[in-house]
């Protein structure tokens, strides 16, 4: 299913005059404060967030899974779904594939199909956290860290194959997330596990094309509950440093213990040129994978404050991070949920762009804590929705994506087209 862009314009008509008034008032107010409104709109217009191929169906929990109907049953349909999100938001022009769930039958045709919807291929994701049919060795006791070299070799070969699939699709990066770890004290020799992981990563790294990057994701616990081999940003960045200049750390918001100062991690990594990628989601307790901004929008804003500061004062030549939503949708329509996440990410980004950095620096140099805090609060409390709406409108997208999505009855059409009991591959 492909959205007729004329339909979006038709639906926009109803909301256009209210938007124009709201936007004009906001633009006036911000311009008077010395803010370059056009620059913010352009930045948001050019900003794209990758959607992972596994986020388009019902995620479920270990207790159960409740379908939505009309879920994409294959890679072509997953690309179509992201094409719809992109048509409605003008912000989802990239897909992040998971191998082996999304191996393209014909890479050239897949690439062409995605391009026709304005979508490029972002980071490729390998999977050594579960066993696949016909696989010679099990990952029950780890993959890249495994005590048996034959298992490690199999996991390395898989990652190399993922890189090869990515090359065919025009991707430029590989994300490695490992479930490797232990459930009980004594199960694993920490040093051996880390050394094995580094040696395996070195072999994968050697397979990367010249213009590729590898992102190393970390996670403190789950699925292993006593230890994870790559438990934190320190371990990830240590491995990245030992691997070489194409290796970076990837920060997933949900992969931290409660109350961790993630914005400081972001600043620290960027100051050393080591932040390669970002996975957005939100959480209250653990790796909850909730809609971005649903629980802690102020934290997200503080993170974007560091991202913007890091991109503007980039002494360490940190690359522009790869942005991706990594959430799971258990009770909401995934397409609506993803559009809510995009809105939350862009809201935090636009608010961070409002921060008066010169004034903030002066307040910091003066040790004027009250003013410094108020500069951040002032930006955070500003309503940037008219700027995001204007960015979408100029890009031919929807003034209100979810209203348009519902007005077009897209889920109903998807169910009619694909059926009620479809399950996205991999879920």
Residues that bind Mn ion (CB under 5 A): 252, 279, 326
Write out the DSSP string of 361-414.
HHHHHTT-HHHHHHHHHHHHTS--HHHHHHHHHHTT--SSHHHHHHHTTHHHHH
> What are the phi and psi torsion angles at 303 (to 5°)?
-65, -45
- 66: number of CA atoms within 13 Å, CB side? 6
In the complex with Mn ion, the residue whose CB is nearer, 104 or 277, is: 277
Least separation in angstroms between CB 279 and Mn ion:
4
Least separation in angstroms between CB 389 and Mn ion:
29
In the complex with Mn ion, the residue whose CB is nearer, 50 or 384, is: 50
Least separation in angstroms between CB 222 and Mn ion:
12
Nearest to 308 by CA among 342, 275, 260: 275
Q: How far apart are CA 381 and CA 234, in angstroms?
A: 33
Nearest to 50 by CA among 230, 210, 173: 173
Least separation in angstroms between CB 4 and Mn ion:
34
In the complex with Mn ion, the residue whose CB is nearer, 325 or 384, is: 325
Rg (CA), the chain: 22
Q: How far apart are CA 188 and CA 181, in angstroms?
A: 8
In the complex with Mn ion, the residue whose CB is nearer, 175 or 227, is: 175
In the complex with Mn ion, the residue whose CB is nearer, 232 or 326, is: 326
In the complex with Mn ion, the residue whose CB is nearer, 19 or 255, is: 255
Least separation in angstroms between CB 388 and Mn ion:
25
- Full 3-state SS string of 263-312: HHHHHHHHHCCCEEEEEECECCCCCCCECCCCCCHHHHHHHHHHHHHHHH
Least separation in angstroms between CB 262 and Mn ion:
13
Q: Tell me how long the chain is.
A: 427
In the complex with Mn ion, the residue whose CB is nearer, 280 or 405, is: 280
Least separation in angstroms between CB 269 and Mn ion:
16
Listed in sequence order, the residues at least 6 apart from 364 whose beta carbon sits closer than 8 Å to its beta carbon are 372
């Amino acid at each position: 299913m492909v959205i007729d862009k004329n339909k979006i314009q038709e639906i926009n008509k109803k909301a256009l005059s209210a938007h124009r008034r709201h936007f004009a008032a906001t633009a006036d107010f911000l311009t008077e404060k010395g803010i370059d409104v056009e620059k913010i709109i352009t930045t948001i217009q050019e900003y794209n967030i990758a959607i992972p191929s596994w986020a388009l169906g019902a995620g479920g929990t270990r207790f159960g899974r409740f379908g939505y109907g009309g879920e994409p049953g294959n890679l072509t349909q997953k690309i179509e779904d992201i094409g719809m999100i992109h048509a409605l938001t003008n912000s989802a022009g990239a897909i992040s594939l998971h191998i082996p769930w999304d191996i393209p039958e014909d890479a050239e045709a897949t690439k062409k199909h995605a391009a026709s919807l304005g979508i490029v291929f972002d980071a490729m994701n390998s999977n050594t956290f579960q066993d696949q049919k016909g696989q010679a060795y099990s990952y029950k006791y780890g993959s890249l860290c495994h005590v048996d070299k034959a298992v490690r070799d199999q996991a390395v070969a898989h990652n190399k194959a993922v890189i090869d699939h990515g090359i065919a699709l025009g991707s430029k990066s590989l994300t490695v997330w490992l479930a490797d770890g232990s459930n009980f004290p004594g199960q694993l020799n920490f040093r051996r596990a880390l050394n094995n992981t580094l040696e395996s990563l070195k072999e994968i790294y050697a397979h990367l094309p010249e213009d590729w990057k590898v992102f190393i994701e970390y996670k403190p616990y789950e699925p292993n509950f006593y230890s994870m081999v790559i438990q934190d940003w320190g371990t990830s960045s240590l491995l990245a440093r030992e691997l070489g200049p194409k290796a970076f750390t990837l920060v997933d918001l949900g992969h931290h213990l409660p109350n961790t100062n993630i914005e400081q991690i972001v600043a620290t990594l960027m100051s050393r040129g080591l932040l390669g990628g970002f996975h957005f989601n939100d959480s209250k307790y653990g790796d909850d994978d909730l809609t971005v901004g649903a629980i802690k929008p102020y934290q997200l804003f503080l993170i974007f404050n560091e991202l913007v500061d890091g991109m503007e004062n980039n002494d360490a030549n940190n690359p522009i991070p790869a942005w991706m939503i990594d959430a799971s949708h258990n009770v909401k329509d995934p397409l609506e949920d993803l559009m809510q996440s995009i809105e939350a990410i862009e809201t935090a980004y636009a608010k961070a762009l409002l921060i008066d950095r010169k004034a903030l620096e002066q307040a910091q140099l003066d040790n004027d804590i009250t003013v410094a805090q108020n500069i951040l609060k002032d930006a955070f409390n500003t309503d940037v929705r008219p700027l995001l709406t204007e960015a979408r409108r100029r890009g031919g997208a929807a003034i209100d994506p979810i209203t348009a999505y519902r007005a077009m009855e897209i889920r109903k059409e998807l169910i009619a087209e694909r059926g009620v009991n479809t399950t996205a591959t991999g879920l």
